[in-house]
Amino acid sequence: MDMRKVVAHNLRRWRLERGLSQEELALRAGIDRTYISALERGIYSATVTMLGKIADVLAVEPATLLERPPKGRAR
């Protein structure tokens, strides 16, 4: 699986688990909502700085956003 898709899958999973909209996540992280949308669609590759900001808001370790999902769980 492409790493952009891994980040997309994990970002969306954790965002929804935390009950956050893309807009609320972006606001709390101090980034643009369209950037979150593009990350969740696998359009952009996030920098480590961005992964850190997003992970802080989601209350997970940045490495969590890079973990490949178990086979059969990715979209």
Q: What is the residue extent of each domain of the chain?
A: 3-61
Given a cut of 80, is residue 74 above it in pLDDT?
no
pTM of the full structure:
0.88
Class of domain 3-61: mainly alpha
Q: Where are the alpha helices (DSSP H) in 1-75?
A: 3-17, 22-29, 33-40, 48-58
pLDDT at 48: 96
Apex 57 CA angle, 56 and 58, nearest 5: 90
Band (pLDDT 50/70/90 cuts) for residue 69 is confident
Given a cut of 80, is residue 59 above it in pLDDT?
yes
Task: Using alpha carbons, list the distances in angstroms from residue 34 to 1, 23, 38, 46, 74.
Answer: 23, 8, 6, 13, 22
Tell me the per-residue pLDDT of 33-50, one tens digit each, with 9 for 90 and over: 999 999 999 999 999 999
* Cα 75 from Cα 71, distance rounded (Å): 10
